[in-house]
Amino acid sequence: MKKDILILTLVTATIFLMSACSGGGGGGDASFSQGSTNIAVVDCNSTVNIPDGYTTMIAGDALVQDITPTVITTYHDTNGTKKVCTVSGKAHLVR
């Protein structure tokens, strides 16, 4: 009986550890395995088509300030797409 419990515990621990290291299911650094892309955020003053000229964000993008201070404006279109541009300063997206 004790041997069966020990084997069950070891199998469960092994499965847990393997699933934690697989990168599936939202693992922390799994999305960076192929690198990342930096995308410059457009200057609001230089864009002609508002909001089409804004930089489009997608889920998982990180907005990074390049110059302090930086002011960002955001716009959400009718489809819920988030778009950004810089009012002052400079920023980029990490995708």
Rounded-to-integer distance, Cα 88 and Cα 45, Å:
9
Please identify every stretch of the chain with a pLDDT value under 50, giving residue numbers as ranges. 11-14, 16-32
Which three-class secondary structure state does DSSP give residue 48? coil
Sheet with 38-40, strands from edge to edge, namely 38-40, 91-94, 62-65
Determine if the pTM surpasses 0.85.
no
Rounded-to-integer distance, Cα 44 and Cα 12, Å:
54
Give the pLDDT of residue 36. 87
Are the CB atoms for 42 and 85 separated by under 8 Å? yes
Give the pLDDT of residue 76. 87
Which three-class secondary structure state does DSSP give residue 12? helix
Cross-strand bridge partners of residue 83: 56, 75
Give the pLDDT of residue 29. 47
